[in-house]
Amino acid sequence: MLEDTVVPTLRELALVFLRLGATAFGGPAAHIALMEDEFVRRRRWLTRAEFLDLIAATNLIPGPNSTEMAIHIGLRAGWCGFLIAGVCFILPAALLVGFLAWVYVRFETLPQVAGILYGVKPVIIAVVLQALWRLGRDSLKSAWLAVLAVLAVILNVLGVNELLILLAGGVCAVAVHRLSQARQTGTPPPPAACLGWFSFPLAAAVPPAVVAPFSLGALFLVFFKTGAVLFGSGYVLLAFLRADLVERLQWLKEQQLLDAVAVGQVTPGPVFTTATFIGYLLGGPAGAAVATVGIFLPAFFFVAISGPLIPRLRRSPTAGAVLDGVVVASLALMAVVTWELGKAALVDLPTIALALISAVLLLRFKVNATWLVLAGAFTGWLVFFLRAL
């Protein structure tokens, strides 16, 4: 521990993360910026270098980055702090999303609610496209990564399991890294590196999962799997949930998924609380609790085991190559699902105009997504009100 940092108390952790969980709008990047201001500048719980180390660590493990940052920071106060920080950051958003899910189930058919969702959905498409553009610029570092992304898109369109696509992306990234090393040193490449690109056609040959009847246990497994393997932006969550809940299991409709994402955007805290909303739609309060625990539980596990490994992982070229491949494959999944959801959300000229205006405001003027979602809700309500006259 450095001399100029302060060890937080459990009470301080609980209060500050409850406040952040109830007020932190804007997605993972905004959450991390708020944490830097709170814990590095104001409270001096971490140095800037330590904070950057934690950001690097969360990028090397699956799960929601801002939630894992909260858990890492809580770990400075021991294992009790580890639990308190994570739970207090998640709980306010989960409770609010659960309440909105109850409202949605009860009042979904009312015209004013339909109007609000009509206006919010195009904005959500623009928000996801903006995140895809920003993350793509940082992730597509070379031509071969762009090729990998195209292959991942093709396989996803063909119906290949998302986990297999991510695995193939990581394997191919390591293969290219090893081949590049061999070329630089003039040594023959290892056989495994030469076989790396065959992981994509092999992935395509694996049959899709079998449809299963709904149960709380199956719901938990769907969200636990998603939380355990999802790299990249929280918006990649869309690809996994659409493939599992809309296409394979058919527990959810396309519109319901988009509504769930809209609620996740308009509320503070982790975007992964979209799981709370979906769980409530499928299984009531018990389903909301099961889905929330399922999707966030892997984050606690990965933070617990990755802490001692952070320095070694950050220095490992192989770990970095795996991350590059998995992130690019994740963005490819995100692009496909954005296209599919866009077809459901952009249904007429007003919705198309809302999406275009929102995209310009996000990309050119850096407007906070929360304000755009609220503006979209008001615009949708106004359009429905005027049409009813």
pLDDT for the residue 162 = 76
- Check: CB of residue 118 under 8 Å from CB of residue 380: yes
Cα angle, residue 281 at apex, residues 336 and 283 outer, rounded to 5°: 120
Domain boundaries, the chain: 10-96, 97-388
| Tokens (6 digits) for 220 | 């938990």
CA distances from 122 to 100, 125, 131, 232, 242 (A): 20, 5, 14, 22, 17
pLDDT for the residue 320 = 75
The pLDDT averaged over each successive group of 10 residues in the chain (389 residues) is 73 94 74 83 84 75 88 92 96 94 80 77 83 80 90 88 82 87 75 63 60 87 91 71 89 88 80 93 96 96 80 70 81 82 88 94 82 87 88
Instruction: Check residue 60 and report its DSSP letter.
Output: T
Burial 69-98 (b: 16+ CB within 10 A, else e): bbbbbbbbbeeebbbbbbbbbbbbbbbbbb
According to DSSP H, which parts of the chain are helical? 10-23, 28-35, 48-59, 65-74, 79-107, 111-139, 143-157, 162-185, 191-194, 199-204, 216-229, 237-241, 254-266, 274-306, 310-315, 317-345, 349-365, 369-388
| Tokens (6 digits) for 222 | 């769907």
Choose among 63, 112, 95, 85: nearest CA to 240.
63
CA atoms of 262 and 274, how far apart (whole Å): 9
CA atoms of 139 and 233, how far apart (whole Å): 12
In residues, how long is the chain? 389
Q: How many CB atoms lie within 10 A of CB 144?
A: 18
Contacts of 218 (CB under 8 A, 6+ apart): 212, 249
CA distances from 124 to 130, 183, 306, 352 (A): 10, 45, 33, 12
Rg from Cα positions in the chain: 21
Torsion angles phi and psi, residue 43, rounded to 5: -95, -20
| Tokens (6 digits) for 201 | 């056609």
- DSSP letter string, 212-226: ----HHHHHHHHHHH
CA distances from 15 to 9, 41, 87, 168, 177 (A): 10, 18, 11, 42, 45
CA distances from 142 to 145, 197, 355, 370 (A): 5, 16, 30, 33
- Check: CB of residue 368 under 8 Å from CB of residue 25: yes
Q: How many CB atoms lie within 10 A of CB 146?
A: 14
Q: How many CB atoms lie within 10 A of CB 172?
A: 28
